Amino acid sequence: MPEGHSIHRLAAAFSELSKLGIARASSPQGRFTEGAAALDNAKITRPWAWGKHLFLEFEVPQPATLHVHLGLYGSWRFQAGEGIALPGHIGAPRMAGEHPGDTYKHFSGQFQPAPPGENVRLRLEFSRAVADLSGPNQCELLDKAGVEKILARLGPDPLVDSCSSQDFIDRARKTRRRIGEVVMDQSFIAGPGNIYRAECLFRCGINPNRQAAKVSVKRLQALWEDLRSQMRRGLKEGLICTTDDPSQGRFWVYQRSGEPCRHCGAIVREQIVAGRRSYWCPKCQK
């Protein structure tokens, strides 16, 4: 599942697309026909993200927001005319479109996008670009109350400037759950996934098995700041890399079970935490 920085990349991509004017909306797959009809010939007025949720507000007679959660199998694919900067792909399969240099698919001359595949839930076609959505966990039109209902169950997003560390700290200090569970629970903090959990807990020296309520305020503050910093880096670079020298490896502990810690040489461990494999160094993380 794409982590939060990828969804903010999508919001940035749709910000560029919004400059192209109205969009023709269709549902080649047929599972979003009514929703597409409601958005057809409308303009995106505000694209934004919160955690792993993408929201596209459209200028239509009845105010509507397109809400998309990609889940494990969803993806957006883009085709664009010359001079338009868009990611080629964001979403499943894992890591697709998450490599340096794999950024834009341009068409020189007259823009003629390829026809949509049969699994495309929603196609948004602009004058010189196309965005195709396939396999999302959620694709729905919401009114203001519907959007607020989703936000009410989400924690603060490190990539949203208005969100504060104090909100995250207050939530974490009130639970008996392990910090490794808390970082993956979107109701505590929205956006981080398994990679950022493993890497930022390592960078902050926190064992994923430590009870969240017993992690000091100072360390929780440091964790929030590191998550924000690393996710901003991922947003800018288009991939996750938490080490200082990518040529020596992009990750400190993620998927390095049984290998020596890059910092101290101890053997990196692995276990299931919150249903996902967690990686940590028993010496560096306390």
Residue tagged active-site, from 3, 98, 125, 199: 3
Catalytic residue list contains 262: no
Query: What integer pLDDT is reported at residue 277 of this predicted model?
Result: 95
Q: Check if the beta carbon of residue 31 is closer than 8 Å to that of residue 75.
A: no
The 10s digit of each residue's pLDDT in 220-250 is 999 999 999 999 999 999 999 999 999 989 9
Tens digits of residue pLDDT in 76-106? 999 999 889 899 999 986 433 344 334 445 5
What confidence score (pLDDT) does residue 110 get?
79
Look up 123 and say whether it is catalytic.
no
Query: Which entry of 2, 28, 158, 208 is annotated as an active-site residue?
Result: 2
Which of 31, 250, 276, 283 is the catalytic position? 276
Q: How far apart are CA 165 and CA 14, in angstroms?
A: 28
- Judge whether 125 and 113 are in contact, CB under 8 Å: yes
Chain-centre distance of CA 250, in angstroms? 18
pLDDT in tens, 3-30: 999 999 999 999 999 999 999 999 999 9
Catalytic residue among 9, 52, 121, 178: 52
Q: Are 178 and 209 in contact (CB under 8 A)?
A: yes
Residues 6 or more apart in contact with residue 214 via CB below 8 angstroms: none
State the average pLDDT over residues 144-153.
98
pLDDT at 111: 87
Amino acid 40: pLDDT: 98
pLDDT of residue 104: 45
Are 257 and 279 in contact by the 8 Å Cβ rule? The answer is: yes
Q: What is the pLDDT of residues 244-285, one digit of tens each?
A: 999 989 999 999 999 999 999 999 999 999 899 999 999 999
Say if residue 93 is preceded by a cis peptide, omega within 30 of 0: yes
Task: Give the chain's domains with CATH numbers.
Answer: 4-151 (3.20.190.10), 155-280 (1.10.8.50)
3-state secondary structure string across 127-192: CCEEEEEECCCEEEEECHHHHHHHHHCCCCCCCCCCCCHHHHHHHHCCCCCEHHHHCCCCCCCCCC
- Confidence check: pLDDT of 140 > 60: yes
pLDDT (tens digit per residue) in 186-202 = 999 999 999 999 999 99
Give the pLDDT of residue 107: 57
pLDDT, averaged across the chain: 94
Nearest 5°: the CA angle 185, 186, 187 is: 90
Overall pTM > 0.85: yes
Q: Tokens 């360390």: give the residue.
A: 219
Q: Across-strand partners of 124?
A: 25, 131
What's the 3-state SS for the chain?
CCCHHHHHHHHHHHHHHHCCCCEEEECCCCCCHHHHHHHCCEEEEEEEEECCEEEEEEECCCCEEEEEECCCCCEEEEEEECCCCCCCEEECCCCCCCCCCCCCCEECCCCCCCCCCCCEEEEEECCCEEEEEECCCEEEEECHHHHHHHHHCCCCCCCCCCCCHHHHHHHHCCCCCEHHHHCCCCCCCCCCCHHHHHHHHHHCCCCCCCEHHHCCHHHHHHHHHHHHHHHHHHHHHCCCCCCCCHHHCCCCCCCCCCCECCCCCCECEEEEECCEEEEECCCCCC
pLDDT, tens only, 29-87: 999 999 999 999 999 999 999 999 999 999 998 889 999 999 999 999 999 998 898 99
276 is catalytic: yes
Q: Is 2 among the catalytic positions?
A: yes
- pLDDT, tens digit, for every residue of 152-208? 999 999 999 999 999 999 999 999 999 999 999 999 999 999 999 999 999 999 999
